[in-house]
Amino acid sequence: MSIRKYLRGLIAVALFTGITPAAHAATASGNFNVTVALTSACTVGAIGDLAFGTYTAFGAAVNATPVTANFSCTRGLTGITANFDTAAPDSTAAAANTNAVGAGVIQGLQYSITATPQTVVAGTAATAASIGTADTVPFEITGTIAANQAGNPAQNASPQLRTLTINF
């Protein structure tokens, strides 16, 4: 092999390796927004029976054992109000201040019911490690059957289904 060919080969290798870029680690980044449209909601667990116990005709007034309706709601909701249905026979419903009030007739006895908001128990905030929890929005439901009523076991039989609805 001639020196000329050898030098040409050496120059070609030098040129080739000189134009090949060296390998480098590199990164690129970009920003983006994360968005969501949250629809607030509330759910309710089981509500116990509002039990008046035994009423004696023409006797004293009877108060029901109070029950609590616990609603699990989107955190931070304010201005929650409640009302009773009017679907039960001879029933009424209204609002008084922040309480829901209702009335009805069961076994010929007039009764009144009230749902009073209790202290909201704040849930926990979501974090990267936890989904968080809902606020608990409790309403205490109480009732009274007035004194001196005759009653009629055939009128609006027991039990009577009532509904408490919250608005948020």
Write out the chain's pLDDT in tens, 168 residues: 566 565 566 555 555 555 555 678 999 999 999 999 999 999 999 999 999 999 999 999 999 999 999 999 999 999 999 999 999 889 999 987 789 999 999 999 999 999 999 999 999 999 999 999 999 999 999 999 999 999 999 999 899 999 999 999
State whether residue 67 is helix, strand or coil.
strand
Residue 133 lies in a domain: yes
- Name beta bridge partners: 116: 140
Q: In this predicted structure, what is the pLDDT of residue 137?
A: 97
Conformation bin of residue 139: beta by default, left when phi > 0, alpha when psi is -120 to 50 = beta
Residue 144 lies in a domain: yes
Residue 140 lies in a domain: yes
Residue 30 lies in a domain: no
Q: In this predicted structure, what is the pLDDT of residue 34?
A: 97
Residue 96 lies in a domain: yes
Range of the domain at 127: 42-167
Distance CA 96, CA 98 (A): 6
Number of domains in the chain: 1
pTM (2 decimals)? 0.80
Contact 82/96 with Cβ under 8 angstroms? no
